[in-house]
Amino acid sequence: MAKVSIISPSILSADFTRLADQIHEAEAAGAGWFHVDVMDGHFVPNLTMGPFVVEACRRSTKLPLDVHLMVEAPDALFEPFAEAGADWLTVHIEACPHIHKSLEAIHALGMRAGVALNPGTPAGAISEVLPQVDLILVMTVDPGFSGGKYVPEMLDKIRSVRSWQEAGRTKALIAVDGGISAQTVPAVAQAGAEVFVAASAVFKHPQGIRAGIHALQAALELAPA
Ligand code: DX5
Ligand code: ZN
């Protein structure tokens, strides 16, 4: 199966006083999507942003907006995020006891549906809903903050999901999120990841956003934009 490579900068590390400019810079450098980290202070310790920010991103770019819900009881937020312009909506399996119903609800609102797995959650936790999943997000940090410590043991989980793809059990894209940098991205790509979420490696790169994206592209052996 053909493999894609999409860099999805997480705006969590952006300078919010210049959000649109930073989005434009990342887009010009070759970002494929933008990732929006929504945290509620309960599912994870941090508190971040909601549909209002997605709506601001929507007005700043036409690229797909990839919204990652790190919240307890996410279902009540599906509609507001759809209205704000989210294209992809990812929920955590750990927060969704009725995952089949949740995925159906995301699709009914016209969005693509993703499921995220924390480092301690086995790939098999989503095996029963694979036909409904458009994106599998393997967390490569314990979620909550940008700049977290990359967990290399997640390579095996990425390989397991990739083997499902190769066996035709899922058509979902394989995404990784957390601690992704020019140093760590070759191994996750080799294991099968296709969407690379990166916050600090893009927005906090010492030479700027363009250099951050180009460093990831070079590590992935992609042609620069
Ligand atoms: C982690 C978030 C990530 C985070 C990644 O809880 O889901 O998307 O912003 O940050 P970096 O790339 O700095 O590890
Ligand atoms: Zn994220």
pLDDT at 2: 59
142 included as an active-site residue: no
Q: Which atom of ligand 1 is nearest to the CA of 143?
A: 6
First to last CA, the chain: 25
Cα–ligand 2 centroid distance for 119 (angstroms): 13
**β-pair partners for 9:** 198
Measured distance CA(65)–CA(33) in Å, rounded = 6
Helices (H) and strands (E) in the chain, counts: 8, 8
Q: What angle do CA 59, 112, 152 make, to 5 degrees?
A: 100
Which residue from 202, 219, 221, 200 is spatially nearest to 210, judged by alpha carbons? Answer: 202
Residues 162-174 as b/e (b if ≥16 CB within 10 A, e otherwise) read bebbeeeebebbb
pLDDT at 224: 79
Cα–ligand 1 centroid distance for 143 (angstroms): 7
Quick count: other Cβ atoms within 10 Å of Cβ 187? 17
Q: And the tokens for 81? A: 């995020």
pTM: 0.97
Whose C-alpha lies nearest to ligand 1, atom 1?
A: 143
The pick from 34, 135, 141 for probing ligand 1's pocket by mutation, whose C-beta has the most ligand atoms within 8 angstroms, reads: 141
Q: In angstroms, how far apart are the furthest CA atoms of the chain?
A: 46
Q: Tell me if 209 sits within 8 A of 14, measured CB to CB.
A: no
Sheet with 6-9, side-by-side order of all strands: 6-9, 195-198, 173-177, 135-139, 112-117, 88-92, 65-70, 34-39
pLDDT at 223: 77
Q: Which atom of ligand 1 is nearest to the CA of 204?
A: 13
The pick from 8, 10, 39, 71 for probing ligand 1's pocket by mutation, whose C-beta has the most ligand atoms within 8 angstroms, reads: 10
Instruction: List the catalytic residue out of 37, 40, 66, 134.
Output: 37
pLDDT at 86: 99
pLDDT at 222: 86
pLDDT at 23: 98
Cα–ligand 2 centroid distance for 135 (angstroms): 13
pLDDT tens track, the chain, 225 positions: 557 899 999 999 999 999 999 999 999 999 999 999 999 999 999 999 999 999 999 999 999 999 999 999 999 999 999 999 999 999 999 999 999 999 999 999 999 999 999 999 999 999 999 999 999 999 999 999 999 999 999 999 999 999 999 999 999 999 999 999 999 999 999 999 999 999 999 999 999 999 999 999 999 998 777
Whose C-alpha lies nearest to ligand 1, atom 2?
A: 143
Measured distance CA(216)–CA(177) in Å, rounded = 14
pLDDT at 59: 98
**SS3 of 52-119:** HHHHHHHCCCCCCEEEEEECCCHHHHHHHHHHHCCCEEEEEHHHCCCHHHHHHHHHHCCCEEEEEECC
pLDDT at 3: 74
